[in-house]
Amino acid sequence: MLSLNNIDIVAGKNVLITGGTGSLGKTITRILLEKSDVKKIIIFSRDELKQFEMQKEFNDIDTSTKLRYFIGDIRDKDRCFMALRNVNIVFHTAALKHVPAAEYNPFEFVKTNILGSQNIIEVSIERGVERVIALSTDKAANPINLYGSTKFCADKLFVAGNQYSGDIGTIFSVVRYGNVIGSRGSVIPFFLKQRQNGYLPITHKEMTRFWITLPEAANFVINCLSEMVGGEIFIPKIPSMKIVELANTLAPECELKDVGIRPGEKLHEIMLPEEVARDSLEFDEYYIIKPSIGLSAEKLSSWEKGKPCPNGFSYTSDNNDKWATEDEIKRNILDLKIEGIDKIKKEWGY
């Protein structure tokens, strides 16, 4: 379990979350409102309906003095400049993420995931933002699809952003992790709906994925915000799971149909490729990939507790030494607020 270690970094600060109406953005927002002395949180996103729905969702908290909603698109640099006025910290979670959609609409993903990221970098420096932490994906490691390629490029932009901030002092880092349980686009809600048909479509029966819950992902991102010195790519140590085991846990009565891997999809996910192991360090709860440029003595000293990864090392969903058990899968699923979960609770005796 990735617990929250240090949230004091946001005390008295103005925080902006790009894509803040998404699953992770909302989870980070709730944690900051409930557990920190944050001064203000700005939700920067382009969908007014999702912002309206988020306002209703947060009715249980008095957000009148701390939570703001700002409509805009990271593709629009002028709007980003307006949104980042007096902002101290940025969580950059906005992205186009659907793998098959990226294969058919490639330049739309380029405009958001690459050009939009560069807008955030440039405007953060112009506005004197203190820290920017960007969300990446396991698909950015040795990418084979357009989505992963755009996120790989964005990662490089954020790492290089540290070279442009100069005396302004804005620092940029990246967090990379795997599939988030119950997030928008997660396979779990899809499987629950598909159960009524008597079968579950499986893209490949040998497929494995990394496994992390929304609270764990949010906690890890906030922890990295306090740990970052600029240029690192943080990778949490999280369990793997086999897609077949997840399907059998959710719907043991259903037939599994192998429908083939979708365009741009991997059989196993990679978070730390062998090619960058020589530039990586292992810590108790995470790895970091060191930047290839801008390695100062100060940065190196801050990472001195890290253990160099051995030659030939890689961190992939099929060679992981941590695997989610059936009990862990069930506990994580029971915490989700999704359609069909009440029926599952009754079946499992909860």
Q: Which of 26, 139, 151, 290 is catalytic?
A: 139
**Cβ-based neighbour number of residue 47 at 10 Å:** 14
Q: What distance in Å separates the CA atoms of residue 49 and residue 54, rounded to the nearest whole number?
A: 9
Q: What distance in Å separates the CA atoms of residue 290 and residue 231, rounded to the nearest whole number?
A: 7
Strands 280-282 and 307-308: antiparallel
Q: Are 324 and 239 in contact (CB under 8 A)?
A: yes
139 is catalytic: yes
Q: What distance in Å separates the CA atoms of residue 302 and residue 37, rounded to the nearest whole number?
A: 26
- The DSSP call for residue 323 is B
Identify the CA nearest to 80 among candidates 108, 44, 40: 44
Instruction: Specify the amino acid at residue 131.
Output: R
- The DSSP call for residue 6 is -
Q: 71: part of which helix (H) or strand (E)?
A: strand 67-71
Helices marked H in the chain? 23-35, 48-57, 77-83, 99-104, 106-109, 116-126, 146-161, 187-194, 214-227, 243-250, 297-302, 326-334, 341-347
- At residue 98, φ and ψ (nearest 5 deg) are -80, 115
Q: Which residues are catalytic?
A: 139
